[in-house]
């Protein structure tokens, strides 16, 4: 290969609909013929893919196929719930199956590389890209990261229906200051390793073929030119052999960051920092060959990067089968079994936040099948486009069944009253008045409120105010004032601060953005054909001033303890603690929280041992084991005390005290989904090994230390009985 051809393999452009500022280049055909392009993205049909691929394979000197990528985030044509919703299922197998459907559909269109999963830890609801990930916890995030990789890549990459995964954004992107997208990040190495790196490590261990860098700076070093994270941790410590891709123009953005004064310097720093492929900025194409010739970049380093790119292309079978079957493309989309899975995923993603009734009455949900008339009100009740969420790939609004359509089919036109009520942003007094009249004519009101998915969630969609946008709060209060029973459905890519609603509305469901089967899934959940089982993967704030907010926080030297924080402090003992004076410290709803139409009773956790050896645990940790004689079994009885069968996600939390560094008040260390019939009790057992007790200590070593351990088996991160054991030397 000539030097220019080598550099060409490290160059990537968007040849379809752009998703950000680009290079302005349009001469892709000519560049491909000269071997100056290695990958293209934002092309979405087999026909378009084949046009470019034929130029590469039949008209270039080396006939190296192109790699085609796309942001396939939560489905390709069959759109599933947004990733935050999928994670709320607490079901990695479900997520793996959804990713497999996405891989089958994308590969049928010639897309063999997805820029997914997003595995950023997100602790701040202001950050719009929270919608794209799996929440705030590294343990759950790691489980979901592995599931996505397995689903996308299948049992082998060269299968025709497999695509290469690309976990992103490496690393710390979710900790952007102020929750403002692309902003700088400051994290101690301990916090980085303990909380933000584990999901990436899990994705690498699952075999991820590629990985994407991040936009942000990390401790003053931009992530796209950070040898500590990209070379030391990723390559040396983890042994990652795949391709590191930049994010969109993030190589060029090194100039704006201030560590490069021109494009050549940016290309040099990014490449030597560990970025193999330059997405969209064109700086590798423009400068890398000259940097090699001038001696500023060793050609051997270029050779290494090119080998990585070629290995992925070989692994995908592109050299043997470079073209896509245009005839079979349509048949792969929206298969009946894919739509059924999309409905199931949506059903499992819903989180029942509140379900109360007037004194002496039954909870409002599930709705009775004898309900005569329902008023469906709100700007998201019949909005096909918004149900797709952000990053909808090839999802089409016409594929979506809305709640209005599903309710009309069930109730008929006589049983359903509909009024939009207001716009997501905007609206009129007349619309609100019409909605009030509609509510007054019905037995029950379903309000469908929330965010605009494309505009308010995902990338470049940070919000300083987390309440309902527009006039929706006014609409909500007017409808509640009618005295009718109200069910509030919240469609959003993040938690919303809505204290008035949680005080005055009897039933509230976090529906996220549920995908193409939004209506049928909601219908089944509302009428009790399925029992809600979703659990929050992010702490739900009372006020935006609590952000960033996360359950696995450190204690302080002055914890609030059992002080009543709902009223002002009455003395110094209540004031001089870590608290707010105008809102409780606690979230509106904690991580792991979610109600059901059933009730579950948890028994006292029981331990198979009262003492463990730190030495034995460390020996097992070094050997790579997760369970051995050094482990402890933790069990608890869980009983369904309700009248309906249901699935409960039983969660295991651990706290370590007496260690060399302060550790969280609780840390998720296991979870199981358990199906229980009414009155049934099941013993749920967790085998807890070295990984649950190891942490990054004051010597920057991942190890187990002597400690007092508190263990909870509970329905969420803020409740449950505890048991204790000792880890001794």
Dihedral (Cα; 33, 35, 40, 44), 10-degree rounding: 30
Nearest residue to 112 (alpha-carbon basis) of 60, 170, 62, 52: 52
Task: Say yes or no to pLDDT of 311 above 70.
Answer: yes
Nearest residue to 376 (alpha-carbon basis) of 432, 414, 422, 419: 419
| 335 — pLDDT class (breaks 50, 70, 90) | very high
| 688 — pLDDT class (breaks 50, 70, 90) | very high
pLDDT tens column, 591-620: 999 999 999 999 999 999 999 999 999 999
CATH of 13-315, one of 3.40.50.300, 2.102.10.10, 3.20.20.300, 3.30.200.20: 3.20.20.300
pLDDT of residue 157: 98
How far, in Å, are 209, 221, 601 from residue 115 at the CA level? 11, 23, 42
Q: Is 319 within 8 Å of 158 (Cβ atoms)?
A: no
pLDDT tens column, 8-46: 999 999 997 655 555 667 789 999 999 999 999 999 999
In CATH, the number for domain 600-728 is 2.60.40.10
In 505-597, beta strands by DSSP E: 507-510
Q: Where in the chain is the domain with CATH 2.60.40.10?
A: 600-728
Q: Where in the chain is the domain with CATH 3.20.20.300?
A: 13-315
- The per-residue DSSP string of 404-460 comes to HHHHHHHH-TTTEEEE--S-SS---HHHHHHHHHHHHTSSEEEEEEE--HHHHSSTT
Residue 535: CA count within 13 A, CB half-sphere:
21
Active site residues: 247
CATH 3.40.50.970 fits domain 342-526: no
Q: How far apart are CA 681 and CA 636, in angstroms?
A: 10
pLDDT of residue 375: 98
In the chain, what percentage of residues exceed pLDDT 90? 96
Element spanning 647, H or E: strand 646-657
Q: How far apart are CA 317 and CA 703, in angstroms?
A: 41
Q: Is 178 within 8 Å of 136 (Cβ atoms)?
A: no
Q: Where in the chain is the domain with CATH 3.40.50.1700?
A: 342-526
| 553 — pLDDT class (breaks 50, 70, 90) | very high
Backbone angles phi, psi at 257, to 5 degrees: -60, -30
Mean pLDDT of 570-578: 95
Task: Say yes or no to pLDDT of 264 above 60.
Answer: yes
pLDDT tens column, 437-494: 999 999 999 999 999 999 999 999 999 999 999 999 999 999 999 999 999 999 999 9
């Amino acid at each position: 290969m000539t030097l220019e051809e080598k550099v060409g393999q490290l160059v990537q452009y968007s040849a379809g609909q752009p998703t950000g500022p680009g290079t302005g280049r349009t001469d892709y055909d000519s560049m491909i013929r000269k071997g100056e392009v290695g990958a293209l993205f934002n092309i979405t049909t087999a026909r378009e893919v084949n046009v470019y691929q034929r130029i590469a394979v039949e008209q270039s000197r080396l006939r190296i196929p192109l790699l085609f990528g796309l942001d396939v985030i939560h489905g390709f044509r069959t759109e599933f719930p947004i990733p935050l919703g999928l994670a709320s299922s607490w079901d990695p197998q479900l997520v793996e199956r959804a990713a497999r459907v996405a891989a089958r559909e994308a590969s049928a269109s010639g897309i063999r590389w997805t820029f997914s999963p997003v595995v950023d830890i997100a602790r701040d609801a202001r950050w719009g890209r929270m919608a794209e990930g799996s929440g705030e916890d590294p343990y759950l995030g790691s489980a979901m990261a592995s599931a996505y990789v397995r689903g996308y890549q299948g049992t082998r990459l060269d299968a025709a229906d497999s695509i290469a995964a690309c976990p992103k954004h490496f690393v710390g992107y979710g900790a952007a200051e102020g929750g403002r997208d692309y902003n700088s990040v400051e994290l101690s190495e301990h916090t980085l390793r303990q909380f933000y790196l584990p999901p990436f490590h899990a994705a690498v261990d699952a075999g991820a073929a590629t990985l994407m860098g991040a936009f942000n700076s990390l401790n003053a070093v931009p992530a796209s030119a950070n040898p500590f994270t990209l070379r030391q941790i990723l390559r040396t410590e983890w042994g990652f052999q795949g391709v590191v891709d930049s994010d969109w123009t993030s190589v060029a953005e090194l100039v704006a960051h201030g560590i490069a004064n021109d494009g050549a310097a940016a290309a040099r720093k990014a490449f030597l920092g560990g970025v193999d492929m330059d997405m969209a900025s064109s700086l590798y194409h423009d400068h890398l060959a000259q940097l090699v010739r001038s001696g500023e970049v060793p050609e051997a380093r270029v050779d290494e990067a090119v080998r990585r790119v070629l290995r992925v292309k070989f692994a995908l079978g592109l050299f043997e089968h470079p073209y896509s079957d245009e005839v079979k493309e349509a048949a792969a989309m929206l298969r009946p079994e894919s739509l059924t899975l999309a409905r199931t995923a949506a059903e499992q993603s819903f989180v029942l936040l509140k379900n109360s009734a007037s004194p002496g009455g039954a909870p409002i949900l599930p709705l009775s099948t004898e309900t005569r008339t329902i008023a469906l009100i709100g700007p998201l009740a019949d909005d096909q486009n918004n149900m797709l969420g952000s990053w909808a790939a090839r999802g089409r609004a016409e594929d979506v069944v809305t709640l209005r359509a599903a309710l009309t089919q069930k109730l008929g036109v006589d049983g359903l009253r509909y009024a939009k009520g207001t716009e997501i942003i905007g609206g009129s007094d007349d619309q609100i008045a019409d909605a009030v009249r509609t509510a007054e004519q019905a037995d029950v009101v379903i309000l469908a409120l929330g965010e605009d998915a494309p505009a308010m969630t995902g990338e470049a969609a940070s919000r300083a105010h987390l309440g309902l946008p527009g006039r929706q709060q006014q609409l909500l209060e007017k409808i509640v004032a009618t005295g009718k029973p109200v069910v509030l459905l919240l469609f959003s890519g993040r938690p919303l601060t809505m204290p008035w609603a949680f005080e005055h509305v009897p039933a509230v469901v976090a529906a996220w953005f549920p995908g193409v089967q939004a209506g049928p899934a909601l219908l089944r959940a509302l009428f009790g054909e399925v029992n809600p089982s979703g659990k929050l993967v992010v702490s739900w704030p009372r006020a935006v001033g609590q952000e960033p907010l996360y359950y696995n926080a450190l204690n302080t030297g002055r914890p609030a303890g059992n002080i009543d924080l709902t009223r002002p402090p009455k003395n110094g003992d209540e004031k001089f603690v870590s608290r707010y004076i105008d809102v409780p410290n606690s979230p509106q709803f904690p991580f792991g929280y979610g109600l059901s139409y059933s009730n579950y009773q948890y028994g006292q956790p029981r331990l198979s041992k009262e003492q463990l050896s730190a030495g034995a645990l460390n020996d097992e940790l070094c050997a790579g084991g997760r369970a051995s004689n050094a482990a402890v079994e933790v069990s608890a009885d869980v009983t369904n005390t309700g009248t309906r069968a249901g699935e409960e996600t039983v969660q295991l939390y651990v706290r370590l005290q007496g260690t060399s560094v302060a550790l969280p008040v609780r840390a998720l260390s296991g979870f199981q989904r358990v199906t229980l019939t009414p009155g049934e009790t099941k013993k749920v057992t967790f085998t807890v090994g070295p990984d649950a007790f190891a942490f990054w200590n004051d010597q920057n070593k991942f190890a187990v230390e002597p400690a007092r351990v508190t263990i909870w088996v509970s329905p969420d991160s803020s409740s449950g009985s505890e048991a204790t054991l000792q880890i001794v030397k």
